[in-house]
Structure 1
Amino acid sequence: MFNPRIGCSSISFRHQDLPTALRTISDLGFHEIDLGALPGVCNHVPYELDMAAVEAVTGEVAASGLLVRSVNGDIGDLNAVLDAGARDARERHLEALLTLTANTGAKALVLPCGALSHHPVRGLDEDLDLVAAQLAWAGQRAAEFGVELWTESLHFLRLCWNLERAELLAQRLAGTGVGIVMDFSHIVAAGEDPLEYIRRHQGLISHVHLRDAVPGNINLSIGNGEADFAAGVNALAASGYAGHFSLELETRDVTHDERPAATAKAASYFTDLL
């Protein structure tokens, strides 16, 4: 029904419990998901992720018949200075997320590009160095599980919120194997140009999130914002991007009853573009 490169994030149906969200996505005709594991954004994966929870979520995903492209998770503020106890807790949480990623057959775990603040903890260079080091460490651990590590950068609400900071982080990640997730909505919300983002990140983009936006607002349905998706998709193709796209419709301009139809309409639109 839809182009097989187009999936749907479970975050699009975060108001539903996980089995219901998976059923909704499958019934719409999708074959692939991104699995939301972001506390405070999407609770489909418990933040207290012990092995019993990993097994339960894995079973629910397997029962749905859907493939998983990525697990979108969080292990805390990567630019925070941690004591030994907090470092141990972070390592345990990362291991649980990587176990979930591997067990669901996902290609990658996605982690954020710093804290939910534009303001550095110590200084921009120091914070970017720490974020890059933490992502590189997580990437090494991911390789042990047979999966990849990606980071969503830029992210309008986080440390790497604009094109300049996203590029500085990408430079620090060169050679680490950590991939970049591009999100149209965050780029537009930051007042940046998706085509310039693609140019500066050529060869680095591993996955693409789809949602519309206007400057300052990331929560719009496809077609209700200012993102030029046709130009962006063409630029991605010209840059050699052959990866997948995920509708991450954490939108606030439709009701929950309208959400399935809006999601299907968006998937049909991108199927035509591809």
Structure 2
Amino acid sequence: MPVDARRLSCPDFAFPALELEGRLELIRLLGFAQVDLELVVPLPPAAPEDAVVARMRAAVSASNLRVADLFFVVGGDDFAASAINHVDAALRAAHRVAFAGAARAARELGAPGLTVLPGVPDHADPAAGWERAVEELRWRVDAARAEGVQTRIEAHIGSLVSTPELAARIVAEVPGLALSLDPTHFTMQAIAPQRITPLAPLAGHVHLRASRPGDLQVAWERDEGDLAGLLAALEAAGYEGPLCVEYVPMAKWNCDRMDILGATAATRAALLSGELG
């Protein structure tokens, strides 16, 4: 079934070689109506600078794009050092200050939701690590709700919710929490679509791209995922929100070894035509 073009979003962080304003202009030229914005703060975490948020707000206003999601990243790709369930209580407290600022930024930018990473396993004490993550996410749901913003997590490889079952479990333990559902983190692990689609009712946001076992993202013509099945499950669950075509050129997982622009355009075209293989 073809997807309405107005639902499609593209991440600004797909094109890091451009300044923010250029990224948004490229996304508009590609035909997208919405954008997923990334907001990054370094370690140790602190609230986003007002000037940074003001620039984002001005750029979005000039672009005429709607903001589908604000992806809040602390500390880059070092998942353990930047985990919200870090064993260091002082660092967790600093994370809360940073998140509160990000939730305010999401409201100012008109983003309906704010996506964060869910934390990592504590191999020394798995139960304690899990409970810290649940506690921190419950706090974030309440803090973001006060700003009128939904809290979402991306269940990703290397996180403490790296399987569909663990993702469902943590959402069940944190009332109000939603998923930024990215099936490619499961497809890369050769997890069957039948285990992924039950997550559809938990989605507050959705990431889509071509993937296959062993590769988080590939060119559209090499896709081995079941996007058609996922979209059907989302429709059955009543999900009517944005669908983000998310290809990113990061070094992690060899994501920088492909044509990001071409894959983005090809996937958008396939979604609009309904020809998903």
2:88 to 72, 82, 86: 82
For each residue in 1:185-212, what CA deviation from the matched residue of structure 2 results, as whole angstroms up to 9, or x when unmatched? 111012212332222x352111110122
Q: How much has 1:171 moved relative to structure 2? A: 2.6
**Separation in structure 2 between the aligned mates of residue 219 and residue 202 of structure 1, nearest angstrom:** 20
Runs of at least 5 residues in structure 1 that lack an aligned partner in the other structure: 41-45
What TM-score, normalized to structure 2? 0.84
Q: Deviations over 1:71-122 (max 9, x none)?
A: 01134302212333x244223211221122111100010011213xxx4254
Cα-to-partner distance string for 1:174-230 (whole Å, 9 max, x where unaligned): xx211111102111012212332222x352111110122222321323332311211
Question: Which position in structure 1 is the counterpart of 2:61?
Answer: 62
Match of 2:211 in 1: 213
Name the structure 2 match of 1:102: 107
- C-alpha change, 1:79 and 1:121, in structure 2 (3 Å) is farther
With over 3 angstroms needed to count, the CA separation of the structure-2 counterparts of 1:162 and 1:15, relative to structure 1, is farther
Whole-Å separation in 2 of the counterparts to 1:260 and 1:2: 21
Please give the residue correspondences for 1:38-49 in structure 2 after superposition, counting only pairs within 5 Å.
38=40, 49=48
Matched, 1:164 2:159: no
Secondary structure of residue in 1 paired with 2:211: strand
Matches within 5 A, 1:220-259: 220-250=218-248, 251-255=255-259, 259=260
Which residue pairs with 2:274 in the alignment?
273
Report the 3-state secondary structure (helix = DSSP H, G, I; strand = E; otherwise coil) of the residue aligned with 2:105.
helix
The 8 Å contact of residues 200 and 230 in structure 2, kept in 1 or not, is answered as no
Alignment-mate amino acid for residue 143 of structure 2: R
Percent of residue pairs bearing the same amino acid type: 24
- Partners of 1:157 and 1:39 lie apart in 2 by 21
2:214 maps to a residue whose letter is G
Partner of 2:126: 124
Give 1:2 deviation, angstroms: 6.0
Q: Compared with structure 1, are the counterparts of its residues 151 and 247 closer, same or farther at alpha carbon in structure 2 (3 Å cutoff)? A: same
RMSD: 2.4
Cα contact 2:72–2:102 (8 A) shared by 1: yes
CA shift, 1:47, in A, is 8.0
29, 44, 53: which is aligned to 2:31?
Answer: 29
- Partners in 2 of 1:106 and 1:122 — Cα distance? 37
Match of 1:184?
183
Which secondary structure does the structure 2 equivalent of 1:4 belong to? helix
Question: Closer, same or farther in 2 for the Cα pair 1:32/1:231, shift >3 Å?
Answer: same
Per-residue deviation, residues 37-78 of structure 1 (Å, max 9, x unmatched): 3569xxxxx987211222122222222221101101134302
The aligned amino acid for 2:223 is G
Matching residue's letter, 1:211:
R
Q: Could you say which residue in structure 2 is the equivalent of 1:43?
A: none
Which of 129, 132, 143 does residue 141 from structure 1 map onto? 143
Count of residues paired in the alignment: 258
* Unpaired stretches in structure 2, ≥5 consecutive residues: 75-81, 249-254
Instruction: Give the secondary-structure state (helix, strand or coil) at the position aligned to 2:135.
Output: helix
Q: Could you say which residue in structure 2 is the equivalent of 1:113?
A: 118
Tell me which amino acid in the other structure corresponds to 1:229.
Answer: L
Matched, 1:91 2:122: no
**TM norm structure 1:** 0.85
2:47 and 2:219 mapped to 1: Cα distance? 31
Equivalent pair of 1:38/1:74 in contact (CA under 8 Å):
yes
**Aligned AA for 2:126?**
L
